[in-house]
Amino acid sequence: MPWFGMDIGGTLSKLVYFEPKDITRDEADAEVETLKNIRRYLTKNSAYGKTGHRDTHLQMNNITIHGRKGTLHFIRFPTSEMGNFLALAKSKGMATLVTTVCATGGGAFKFEENFKREVNMSLAKFDELDSLIHGMLYIETTNSHECYYWSNPTDDALCHKVPYDFSEPYPFLLVNIGSGVSILAVYGPNNYKRISGTSLGGGTFLGLCCLLTGCNSFEEAIELAAGGDSTRVDKLVKDIYGGDYDRFDLPGDLVASSFPQLCSFGQMNSKERRNAVSKEDLARATLVTITNNIGSITRMCALNEKIERVVFVGNFLRVNPISMKLLAYAMDYWSNGTLKALFLEHEGYFGAVGCLLQFNG
Ligand code: ADP
């Protein structure tokens, strides 16, 4: 049985595949040809069909899972392509293997019948949040470079990633920014609670950005945002007070999500201003709006729970240093340096890893 863990999310399906490297001669002889072919297909390619990708930079070699040594591979595809994914799996002979795949995320329920019908696979379903935390703790302790923070997040010349020693993690907040956002307070490996969340997440960013700019992918949206200026879209402190507003210690060009007088998109009621902004500006403003809102909710949660470290995960942060730096800055600034924003390299894959780890079939 190949070892798969799947997290079938609202936007992306994440598939982790554990390739055992310690196969004995007897095991190799007993292994059916189809299984060998599937292994070869997965590990020799980094693109599958039109929309499947293997994140080769995230691959983890020489790791141990359930007592076996091997390599962990990380693959993703849009959940909307599930039909094509199942057809591809079928064409590789998956249906001839008697298999159970461990799965989490809403899609584990939605697509359960399709898996059975198309590729004769049963899904062993695991809780999404349990999986997220298990996967995250496992990867963080296995990979010494997993956890990092951004130093000097507001200064492009000085800003860089710095490894963070997360060996004594508890307590921490875990903010999962996927299509929507979940915020968990984690006190121990099996001791956590979901304390908050928001429906304004990565899916909102992508949806609004496509509406406002006509772009068609997350990568395109992020690229546009990188070239834009949100201060041409938002209403700033200086637009209202005419300069720095010293009493609140706010620099004039700061869009402060937790300072209600300021508003995202506040200049867009003016036709003139609307005509003057570019797609890039609108993409940037959307990204900043969504990110600052998440930052603001997170800060309140941290304050309530009296927790000082916040780990941000989820695919919204994929290829998205703008949001990571904004979150790093927001945590630090609004807490006078007491809150620390941390990030993890395998940002969107922990749910999939976690359900693989929980499987003992
Ligand atoms: P979910 O489990 O809800 O699908 P993810 O953690 O996979 O959540 O994050 C989904 C979000 O990640 C999207 O809403 C989008 O903002 C962002 N994202 C990153 N890469 C992509 C991509 N290639 N395609 C679509 N969305 C992406």
Secondary structure (DSSP) of 194-220: EEEEES-SHHHHHHHHHHHH---SHHH
Q: Does ligand 1 have an atom closer than 6 angstroms to the CB of 125?
A: no
DSSP structural state of residue 51: T
Ligand 1 pocket mutation pick from 48, 217, 218 by most atoms within 8 angstroms of CB: 218
In whole angstroms, what is the distance from residue 105 CA to residue 348 CA? 12
> Does any ligand 1 atom lie closer than 6 A to the CB of residue 99?
no
Q: Please name the residue whose Cα sits nearest to atom 17 of ligand 1.
A: 316
Write down the pLDDT at residue 2: 58
Question: In angstroms, what is the span from residue 267 Cα to ligand 1's centroid?
Answer: 29
Active site residue 280: no
Q: Residue 218's pLDDT is what? A: 98
Residue of minimum CA distance from atom 22 in ligand 1: 218
In the prediction, which pLDDT does 258 show? 39
Give residue 249's pLDDT: 62
Tokens for 49, please give them: 């069909």
* pTM for this predicted structure: 0.94
Summary count for the chain: helices (H), strands (E): 13, 15
Which amino acid is residue 300, in one-letter code?
M
**pLDDT value at residue 122:** 93
The residue whose CB lies within 8 Å of the most ligand 1 atoms, and thus the one to mutate among 12, 312, 322, 347, is: 12
Write the ipTM: 0.99
Q: Which of 128, 140, 146, 347 is catalytic?
A: 128
Pocket of ligand 1 contains residue 52 by CB under 6 Å: no
Q: Tell me the angle at which helices 279-305 and 218-226 cross, rounded to the nearest 10 degrees.
A: 100
Per-residue pLDDT of the chain (361 residues; tens, 9 = 90+): 558 999 999 999 999 999 999 999 998 888 889 889 999 999 999 999 999 999 999 999 999 998 999 999 999 999 999 999 999 999 999 888 878 899 999 999 999 999 999 999 999 999 999 999 999 999 999 999 999 999 999 888 899 999 999 999 999 999 999 999 999 999 999 999 999 999 999 999 999 999 999 999 999 999 999 999 998 999 877 777 776 666 666 655 554 443 434 789 999 999 999 999 999 999 999 999 999 999 999 999 999 999 999 999 999 999 999 999 999 999 998 888 999 999 999 999 999 999 999 877 5
How close is the Cα of 79 to the center of ligand 1, in Å?
Answer: 10
Q: Is the CB of 131 under 6 A from ligand 1?
A: no
The pLDDT assigned to 252 comes to: 53
Among 315, 322, 353, which residue has the most ligand 1 atoms within 8 Å of its CB, making it the best to mutate?
315
323 close to 257: Cβ distance less than 8 angstroms: no
Output the pLDDT for position 254.
Answer: 52
Asked whether 351 lines ligand 1 (CB < 6 A), one says no
Q: Give the pLDDT confidence score for residue 94 in this predicted structure.
A: 87
Cα–ligand 1 centroid distance for 55 (angstroms): 14
Residue nearest to atom 26 of ligand 1 (CA): 218
Pocket of ligand 1 contains residue 202 by CB under 6 Å: yes
Q: Are the beta carbons of 354 and 323 closer than 8 angstroms?
A: no
d(CA 257, CA 331): 12
Contact at 8 Å (CB) between 352 and 15?
yes
What's residue 235's pLDDT? 87
